[in-house]
Amino acid sequence: MAIRLDNQGLTLQERAIERRRQNLATQIQLEQQERVQQERSLSKSKEEEKIETETLNESLEIADKLAKAFNKAIKFQIHQETDKIYVEIVDRETGETIKQIPPEEMLKIAASVQEFLGLIVDQHA
């Protein structure tokens, strides 16, 4: 039985084992780097979300103060048919809706479009 050696004095089998070990080590290192990047990304997006939430809260407080100055209220609601958020500006004394953003007509159109698209998808299925 002849044993062939490479230029470093290793048998071919030893060399193959060494290559597999190096490949495994490289793969483990890449997976660790990927995990670290994912953790950083998750941490960054949590920080960004916190900043966005703080900014949103500050903006809402300012809007509420302005509305109170004019004896108005701002209501945020979810349209049942479309699950879209809409805003109502309401007179505090009368309870009358002064303005709705987006207007009710637009929300109805959006609901109709969603229903129509649902029918198209159902027909193709």
Residues 13 and 45 in one domain: yes
Residues 59 and 75 in one domain: no
Residues 82 and 45 in one domain: no
Q: Is residue 27 part of a domain?
A: yes
Calculate mean pLDDT across residues 93-102.
94
What is the per-residue pLDDT for 46? 79
At 107-119, the pLDDT tens digits run 999 999 988 888 7
At 14-65, the pLDDT tens digits run 888 888 999 888 999 999 999 888 888 877 787 888 888 899 889 989 988 9
Give the list of residues 6+ apart from residue 73 with CB closer than 8 angstroms, or none: 67, 89, 90, 91, 92
Q: Is residue 65 part of a domain?
A: yes
Domain that holds residue 117: 71-125
Calculate mean pLDDT across residues 1-13.
63
> Quick check: 5 pLDDT over 60?
no
> Quick check: 10 pLDDT over 90?
no
Q: Is residue 124 part of a domain?
A: yes
Exposure class string for 88-103: b at 16+ Cβ within 10 A, else e: ebbeeeeeeeeebeee
> Quick check: 7 pLDDT over 70?
no
Residues 47 and 89 in one domain: no
> Quick check: 99 pLDDT over 90?
yes
What is the per-residue pLDDT for 125? 62
Residue ending a domain, among 69, 93, 117, is: 69
* Structure tokens, 21: 């070990």
Total domains, the chain: 2
Q: Is residue 3 part of a domain?
A: no
Residues 18 and 60 in one domain: yes
Q: Taking the complete model, does pTM exceed 0.85, yes or no?
A: no
Residues 88 and 54 in one domain: no
